[in-house]
């Protein structure tokens, strides 16, 4: 794999003082189009993330070849002129070069203004996967991604250090986010315990995860770095001819080996019943163990996986929205089962 220098990686990022019309942006990214007239049909795509202004699908007739080019434009608001995590990921171009298990739509380029990042990528047409059914495929993709990105990170020149430092999982602007702090939601479970005796005392017992997670975080911090996507949801994956295409790097961080497995299993735990979760977890871990690069210590990676799994699973199962949803659907016994499962991991 070729490690890119800042200057070549920077070629795909253009800086502008203000936002230009779409046509101008496209011409800047594809200069060979010159002044030829462009025919564009645009359509908004669903998007929920905070800071995302819009995600748009554009169908453009290439004025040179006459062929249709389909791309996606994602506009992300900046906070105090600070660029988005996703734009930074795309700046680290070449990080996942050579990946065989995961496929990534080509990034046509990123346009940065002081107020937003515009990310242009190729449009992928495919089906969303059944998340529990792709445990083995994900384990292979994640293990490969961890190895490729680890190699890339260690080969980076000093100029890249500030960018990569700012993307590190351990920066306070990530760690302070609610999704990594389940404790703040324990009061809702305490209240539930006062109403329903089956839930009594659970919040107190779950509190014991706090010191345990602190220890795991400290240990993980010293382990090998790699890129971690952190958002393995149905809507961020496409199956095209049995191959997995991955999009949406808005949660990506410079994480540690094992983190992505934990993120996947955490979101599976949130959405599935225990039987489906346990079976997919076993498949994922079995494959991950088998394919993880020998550069990494497998026990260390699995400890890290466990750390992110617990952070994610605790947060999601304690959010007031989750309690309300299970109550509404009359699925409180399943929620109780999930708390009991988590407590076995203490």
Ligand X SMILES: Nc1ncnc2c1ncn2[C@@H]1O[C@H](COP(=O)(O)OP(=O)(O)OP(=O)(O)O)[C@@H](O)[C@H]1O
Q: What is the contact surface with Mg ion in residues (CB under 5 A)?
A: 236, 248
Choose from Mg ion, ligand X, none: what does 72 bind? Cβ within 5-8 Å by kind.
Answer: ligand X
CA distance 287 to 291: 6
Token duo for residue 116: 């937003």
Site for ligand X in 246-285 (CB under 6 A): 247-248, 250
User: Least CB distance from residue 236 to Mg ion, whole Å?
Assistant: 5
User: Least CB distance from residue 198 to Mg ion, whole Å?
Assistant: 35
Nearer to ligand X, 171 or 235 (CB): 235
Choose from ligand X, Mg ion, none: what does 33 bind? Cβ within 5-8 Å by kind.
Answer: none
Q: Which residue has the tokens 């992928």?
A: 124
Who's near 73: CB < 8 A, 6+ residues apart? Answer: 22, 25, 54, 55, 56, 58, 118, 119, 120
CA distance 343 to 212: 12
Who's near 332: CB < 8 A, 6+ residues apart? Answer: 196, 198, 326
- Residue 275: exposure state from Cβ atoms within 10 A (0-12, 13-18, ≥19): exposed
CA distance 184 to 206: 12
Give me the residues paired with residue 45 across strands.
Answer: 55
Choose from Mg ion, ligand X, none: what does 252 bind? Cβ within 5-8 Å by kind.
Answer: none
Q: Binding pattern to ligand X, positions 285-324, x when CB under 6 A? A: ----------------------------------------
Give the number of other CB atoms < 10 A from CB of residue 316: 19
Residue 327 contacts ligand X per CB under 6 A: no
Nearer to ligand X, 246 or 308 (CB): 246
Q: How far is CA 239 from CA 121, 128, 236, in A?
A: 17, 6, 10
Residue 240 contacts ligand X per CB under 6 A: no
Number of residues that bind ligand X (CB under 6 A): 18
Site for ligand X in 53-72 (CB under 6 A): 55, 72
Contact, 228 vs 263, CB < 8 A?
yes
Choose from ligand X, Mg ion, none: what does 111 bind? Cβ within 5-8 Å by kind.
Answer: none
User: Least CB distance from residue 113 to ligand X, whole Å?
Assistant: 18
Give the number of other CB atoms < 10 A from CB of residue 321: 10
Nearer to ligand X, 91 or 338 (CB): 91
CA distance 335 to 322: 9
CA distance 148 to 344: 34
Choose, by CB under 6 A, the member of 14, 53, 123, 298 that binds ligand X: 123
Residue 47 contacts ligand X per CB under 6 A: yes
Choose, by CB under 6 A, the member of 171, 235, 327, 329 that binds ligand X: 235
CA distance 270 to 277: 9
User: Least CB distance from residue 312 to ligand X, whole Å?
Assistant: 16
**Residue of closest CB approach to Mg ion:** 248
Q: Binding pattern to ligand X, positions 124-153, x when CB under 6 A? A: x-----------------------------
Site for ligand X in 93-122 (CB under 6 A): 105, 121
Contact, 267 vs 233, CB < 8 A?
yes
Choose, by CB under 6 A, the member of 7, 18, 32, 48 that binds ligand X: 48
Positions that interact with ligand X (CB under 6 A): 45-49, 52, 55, 72, 74, 105, 121, 123-124, 235-236, 247-248, 250
């Amino acid at each position: 794999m070729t490690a890119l220098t800042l200057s070549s990686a920077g070629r795909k990022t253009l800086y502008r003082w203000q936002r230009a019309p779409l046509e101008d942006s496209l011409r800047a990214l594809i200069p060979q189009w010159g002044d030829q007239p462009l025919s564009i049909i645009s359509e908004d795509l669903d998007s929920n993330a905070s800071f995302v202004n819009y995600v748009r699908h554009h169908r453009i007739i290439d004025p040179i070849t006459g062929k249709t080019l389909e791309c996606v434009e994602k506009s992300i608001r900046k906070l105090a002129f600070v660029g988005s995590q996703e734009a930074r990921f795309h700046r680290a171009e070449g990080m996942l070069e050579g990946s065989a298990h995961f496929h990534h739509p080509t990034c046509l380029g990123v346009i940065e203004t002081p107020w937003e990042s515009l990310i242009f990528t190729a449009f992928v047409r495919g089906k969303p996967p059944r998340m529990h059914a792709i445990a083995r495929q994900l384990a292979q993709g994640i293990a490969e991604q961890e190895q490729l990105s680890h190699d890339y990170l260690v080969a980076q020149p000093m100029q890249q250090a500030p960018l990569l430092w700012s993307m590190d999982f351990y920066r306070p602007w990530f760690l302070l986010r609610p999704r990594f702090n389940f404790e703040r939601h324990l009061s809702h479970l305490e209240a539930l315990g006062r109403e329903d005796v089956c839930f009594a005392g659970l919040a107190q017992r779950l509190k014991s995860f706090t010191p345990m997670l602190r220890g795991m975080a400290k240990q993980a911090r010293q382990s090998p770095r790699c890129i971690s996507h952190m958002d393995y949801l149905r809507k961020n994956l496409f199956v095209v001819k049995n191959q997995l295409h991955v999009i949406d790097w808005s949660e990506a961080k410079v994480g540690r080996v094992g983190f992505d497995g934990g993120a996947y299993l955490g979101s599976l735990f949130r959405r599935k019943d225990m039987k489906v979760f346990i079976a997919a977890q076993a498949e994922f871990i079995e494959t991950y163990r088998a394919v993880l690069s020998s550069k990494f210590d497998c026990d260390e990676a699995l400890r890290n996986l466990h750390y992110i799994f617990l952070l994610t699973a605790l947060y999601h199962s304690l959010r007031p929205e989750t309690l309300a949803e299970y109550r509404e659907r009359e699925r409180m016994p399943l929620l109780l089962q999930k708390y009991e499962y988590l407590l076995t991991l203490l």
